[in-house]
Amino acid sequence: MRIEGDGLVPLKSFERERPLADLVFGELGGDCHWFGLVPPIEVLNQELRSGGAVVPGPIHNEKQFFFNWDPFEVTRDEYRELVEVAEKLPGRPFEYVEPPKDVRLPQEWGHWALVRYISPP
């Protein structure tokens, strides 16, 4: 069920409502999407404004998952809550790392995050 206006609306069989952290760190959070990092708010909001994503499954080239949502953005307060949730996830699969100052655009962050992910420590 979803609240719309003054009433409840049943969800269709393919619809579901989840906490924002479940979408960000669950459905969208695979290694190949965020590279184990909490994305900066600008990167996250670009993704959320898009209204959907195609996420590969855990086995390479085997399965893809399609997610659609009403486009939206998170506020600074909601973003801080997401960072706090990420810090409390079991095994800490996501960490918040401030990108270098010259990484400003979402595409630049994606490149930086990928290089960081595949480079040995």
pLDDT for res 1: 39
pTM equals 0.75
pLDDT for res 6: 59
pLDDT for res 75: 95
pLDDT for res 34: 84
Q: How far is CA 86 from CA 11, 13, 78, 103, in A?
A: 28, 29, 12, 22
| Nearest to 42, CA basis, from 18, 74, 68, 20 | 74
pLDDT for res 14: 55
What residue type is assigned to position 82 of the chain?
Answer: L
Which tokens go with 88?
A: 């409390």
Provide block-wise average pLDDT over 10 residues at a time, the chain (121 residues): 54 64 80 83 92 74 74 94 92 91 88 90 72
Measured CA to CA, the distance from residue 61 to residue 66 in angstroms comes to 14
